[in-house]
Structure 1
Amino acid sequence: MTTNAPRRQFAAYGSVLTMAAVLLLGGCQVSTHSPSDDETNPQEGLSAALTPTAGGTQSGNDSKASTEQYTDLWQKIAASDAIALPDHKEIDYFLKLHSSRMLFTKAAPGAAEPWLYDIVTRLEQRNMPLELALLPIVESAYNPASRGAGVAGLWQLASQTGRNFKLRVNKSFDGRLDHIASTEATLDYLQHLHDMFGNDWISAVAAYNIGEGNFGNAVERSRRKGKATDFYSLGLSRKQVPTVYKWLALVDIVRDPKALAQSFPPIDNRQVLARELAPNGVSLKQIAAKSGIAEKELKKLNPAFRTGAVPTKGEYWINLPLDAADSFANAKGSMTADAKNVEVKDDDGEKPRRYVVKSGDTLGGIAKRNGVKLQALLSANGLKKDSVIRPGQTLKLP
């Protein structure tokens, strides 16, 4: 196989690899920018049949990573070869840390098995780098129920970021914990950042890591100094953007056959979960019983349902083992709603107000026209008075 990105040599491994929790330190910053203004149900417009079989057609990466060629999804991601890896001291830092302290092991990659096929499929559909499927290892150890300081899910999204990208986040359902809904939202956001910052995926991940306002300020500082504005030219350290360098180290490891074999248990390149439209008001306990699976297993596959039941309004999709899909379909009509299960409003009680930046706008002018204080506008969006705003950006109005 011919590779386009420079290959790097990985440090020698020990005979046994175990994992340190350091891997989980990455986290997504709050996004205030969105290509869309309307919040909808997290699965609205998605089909249970979106996930193709292993022989399906894919967009992009056809010559490098055809669906039929790779039986292991990790090998398929490695073959994508869409992210260039230069020799870099900060990447080397995490490679050495992995070699000496076993930073990345089988624990997080192994946890990806229920979710990875769907994520890789959606990256292919969008013609985005398959290496982005490694980000949840850094963010959450591939645990969809993971929660951090104001963030949650596989991609560790903040609630406002999720809402900006059409996720429902309330007391009964948290779309950040749904692997399909959160992936769609995250990929929308990453594509937005890619387009904003020079069509560069590494810059997109960096902005995702520290917030687009902060990353935009770093770009502007470099521009004022007459320097290049690509990610590596900004000189950001691993302390400033830890997620980026951990992710790039992971990309390097996956591309090394020996490292891949030692750290990444194979995951079959095939569909694992069925995805079915759930009846409103029905408890997960009832769905599990009718589908012939354990309630604990069903809840593990569907952590987004926070009350143990499907809300009474809107469309919601539920994940099921493939062998339980027929039983669910046959019993669906006999399921009865729980009278105690009621729909609740979003945690903030209303949709957030937003403003799309127009040519010639200034932060002060936006604040004045919308009747808000400048400092409140800056704080709501993680900006400073001298932050650069661009036409098309979406700002949250406090």
Structure 2
Amino acid sequence: MLIGTRTAEPRGAGRDWRLAVVAGSCSSLGCACLLLAACSGIPLRAPTPQVHAPALTPEPIATPAVSLAPLQAARIPSPWQRLRDRYAMPGCDYSPMVSRFAAAIAANPRDLSAAFKQAMPFLLVVTEQIEKYDMPGEFAFLPWVESSYTMIPARGDGVAGMWQLMPRTARELGLRIDAEYDGRLDVYASSRTALVLLKQYKEEFGDWRLANMAFNAGENGVKQALGNRHSITPVEIARLRLNTTTYEHLTKLLALACIVSKPERFQVELPEPGADDVPTLLELPAPIDLRLAAQLAHMDLAQLRRWNPAYLKARMPDGGPFHLLVPATHRAEFERVLGMLPQYAWRDWRETKLQQTQSVDTLGMAYDLDARALAAINGVDAGASLAAGTRVLLPAHGGSNAVAAAAEPSAPAAANTSITSATQTGTCMVRPGDTLWEIARRYSVRVEDLLQWNRLPRNSTLRLGQRLLLSRPQ
């Protein structure tokens, strides 16, 4: 398979301070990488036994085979020892340059610790995937070398995501990329795809270090450097005709592994995950509006988008995928409340300002939704009365200027034959999907009037074929 050449660093200047911790602090050592060829004369420690995993083939990204385990309240497993136990490459002992890069990266230990903490949810996802596919623990630091675990957006045909995948490479490995969804920004899907690629390189070149170099320089670059050789020693790896950036890429990876293996040596405190750092992968049967998802997950919208940046619009695309990373602590509540809503009501929600005082029960009846679900979504009691001017999240049946059930519905843009006929006869027939609010909007009447004219209780359910009066009875 022909894989396009990649670049070592994300393009553009839009990086956060975390990238400066890793890459910026190493800039002073850039020229020193030229000494790697000289290091080839230093006897290198033989690599630890390689991890021999079963062949890994790309899976359909839209339906991941497993979800992250739900959070156990009693104990949150730390990722650090789990990764150390899976190390398969010499880290601190690989060459003098590894120790120098490690010292440069850890020059500001507090900043590095804070950066690790901020990346914790993504690091936990990658750790779980590494364990699932039986991969070396060092590769948990590859997104750090590439992007400091930052979901860098796509620019033209360039790389994107925390793994910095090229679009052609991503598509060849099964990731979907279009105007609504970019799989390179999907934490779960892109991590699996990157591990697929690394596994293929390992099988082709026989060494995890060469796999890392191919990830940076491209498959063809490593092939050309190897020539006709079918095996290579550690000393020969240091003498390959590859550019300085590719060697520096491997050195940074091993330097980060070195820091994590001996944090006390670099005075770095490795943070432990908190309850809200632990993600779970939530599979859904239908698309959902991200504003609704944020409320259900007890996250603000910016945080939900940070965890799920692959969705480029306000809602999931109709063609999927339909999965979300959310805090494991809120998964049960998310599923409980969402299960109270019909699927057709999931995909389009907007913040609305009430024009008059209204109860949650009336809003639920107007939108034909469970009032308890509306209350949970908006963080109020089920029996609460909401004052005029209150902003609530409601289904966007009437467009962005709709004022829920408490407002005068806007007149239809144009009358049609069925509306005219119904108005003349003074009645209408309930059709599939109709709610009181929809009928009120369609015929330019108030929900409260429909209730009064038809003597309907506030908790009434409409029936197909039911006839409703559209004016005050004589």
TM over 0.5: yes
1:337 matched to 2:343? The reply is no
- Cα offset for 1:75? 3.1
1:252 matched to 2:271? The reply is no
- 1:152 match: secondary structure: coil
Amino acid at match of 1:170: D
Contact 2:21 2:112 in 1 (8 A): no
Greater Cα radius of gyration, structure 1 or 2? 2
Structure 2 Cα separation of the partners of residues 103 and 193 of structure 1: 35
Amino acid at match of 2:314: G
Residues 209 and 102 (structure 1), Cα distance of their counterparts in 2 relative to 1, 3 Å cut: farther
Structure 2 stretches of 5 or more lacking a match? 1-16, 27-55, 350-474
1:318 matched to 2:320? The reply is no
- Cα offset for 1:90? 3.4
1:299 corresponds to which of 305, 308, 312? 305
Contact 1:177 1:303 in 2 (8 A): yes
Structure 1 Cα separation of the partners of residues 296 and 302 of structure 2: 14
Residues 107 and 136 (structure 1), Cα distance of their counterparts in 2 relative to 1, 3 Å cut: farther
- Cα offset for 1:108? 3.1
Aligned to 1:135: 142
Amino acid at match of 2:311: F
1:275 matched to 2:285? The reply is no
Moved more, 140-149 or 175-184: 140-149
Structure 2 Cα separation of the partners of residues 89 and 237 of structure 1: 19
Aligned to 1:241: 247
- Cα offset for 1:228? 5.0
1:43 matched to 2:50? The reply is no
1:178 matched to 2:186? The reply is yes
- Cα offset for 1:257? 3.6
- Cα offset for 1:126? 1.5
TM-score, with length taken from structure 1: 0.64
Structure 1 Cα separation of the partners of residues 113 and 154 of structure 2: 21
Structure 2 Cα separation of the partners of residues 247 and 104 of structure 1: 18
1:90 corresponds to which of 94, 97, 101? 97
Contact 1:24 1:137 in 2 (8 A): no
Aligned to 2:381: none
- Cα offset for 1:210? 0.8
- Cα offset for 1:269? 10
Structure 2 Cα separation of the partners of residues 210 and 309 of structure 1: 36
Structure 1 Cα separation of the partners of residues 253 and 100 of structure 2: 12
RMSD: 3.7
Contact 1:194 1:203 in 2 (8 A): yes
- Cα offset for 1:304? 0.8
Contact 1:117 1:269 in 2 (8 A): no
Alpha-carbon displacement from aligned partner over 1:359-395 (angstroms, at most 9, x marks no partner): xxxxxxxxxxxxxxxxxxxxxxxxxxxxxxxxxxxxx
Contact 2:23 2:105 in 1 (8 A): no
Residues 240 and 183 (structure 1), Cα distance of their counterparts in 2 relative to 1, 3 Å cut: closer
Residues 227 and 247 (structure 1), Cα distance of their counterparts in 2 relative to 1, 3 Å cut: closer
Structure 2 Cα separation of the partners of residues 210 and 144 of structure 1: 21
1:74 matched to 2:84? The reply is no
Matches within 5 A, 1:196-211: 196-198=204-206, 200-211=207-218
- 1:83 match: secondary structure: coil
Amino acid at match of 1:239: T
Residues 95 and 295 (structure 1), Cα distance of their counterparts in 2 relative to 1, 3 Å cut: closer
Residues 190 and 270 (structure 1), Cα distance of their counterparts in 2 relative to 1, 3 Å cut: farther
Residues 235 and 75 (structure 1), Cα distance of their counterparts in 2 relative to 1, 3 Å cut: farther
Contact 1:273 1:320 in 2 (8 A): yes
2:158 corresponds to which of 128, 150, 158? 150
Amino acid at match of 1:177: L
Matches within 5 A, 1:369-388: none
Aligned to 1:111: 118
2:222 corresponds to which of 215, 219, 243? 215
Structure 1 Cα separation of the partners of residues 96 and 279 of structure 2: 40
Contact 1:281 1:338 in 2 (8 A): no
Residues 19 and 188 (structure 1), Cα distance of their counterparts in 2 relative to 1, 3 Å cut: closer
Structure 1 Cα separation of the partners of residues 140 and 225 of structure 2: 26
Amino acid at match of 1:295: L
Structure 1 stretches of 5 or more lacking a match? 1-17, 27-34, 56-67, 340-398
- Cα offset for 1:99? 5.8
Amino acid at match of 2:262: D
Residues 251 and 39 (structure 1), Cα distance of their counterparts in 2 relative to 1, 3 Å cut: closer
Matches within 5 A, 1:155-174: 155-174=163-182
- 2:63 match: secondary structure: coil
Residues 239 and 22 (structure 1), Cα distance of their counterparts in 2 relative to 1, 3 Å cut: farther
- Cα offset for 1:184? 0.6
Amino acid at match of 2:138: E
- Cα offset for 1:20? 6.3
- Cα offset for 1:97? 2.9
- Cα offset for 1:183? 0.7
Contact 1:111 1:141 in 2 (8 A): no
Amino acid at match of 1:192: Q
Contact 2:21 2:105 in 1 (8 A): no
- 2:227 match: secondary structure: helix
Structure 2 Cα separation of the partners of residues 104 and 231 of structure 1: 33
Contact 1:206 1:244 in 2 (8 A): yes
Moved more, 164-173 or 226-235: 226-235
Moved more, 179-188 or 138-147: 138-147
